[in-house]
Amino acid sequence: MAERRPRSGASQAPLAALSILRSGGVAGLMRRRTIDVASLTEAQRQALEALAASPAAGPSPGADRFSFTLTLAYADGTTREITVPEERVPDALADLLR
């Protein structure tokens, strides 16, 4: 397992792995999946870097909203965990996360 270190921003190392945990919704179910980072578009990579540098504030107010916890693992062994409320998902990541 990769070492977890507090991050103040994105790592300088390349992204090696991405996992997504979607939680919330009407049933409150959690869905976890891993994304092949080689399949990410440049726009998706840039959106992930922007989130890592300046993550969105906590969960959404209101019932039945989704939130997405992204775990970014970098080639240098560091990880970054970011929680993004449904309404703050960047357009470039909408299809990837939902």
**Residue that has been written with the tokens 């560091």 in this structure:** 78
Q: Has this prediction a pTM greater than 0.85?
A: no
Q: Which amino acid is at 59?
A: P
Name the DSSP letter for residue 3.
Answer: P
Report the chain's C-alpha Rg in angstroms: 13
Is residue 41 predicted with pLDDT exceeding 90? yes
The pLDDT value recorded for residue 61 is 65
Mean of the per-residue pLDDT values of the chain: 82
The CA-atom distances, in angstroms, between 5 and each of 35, 52, 72, 75 are 22, 13, 12, 13
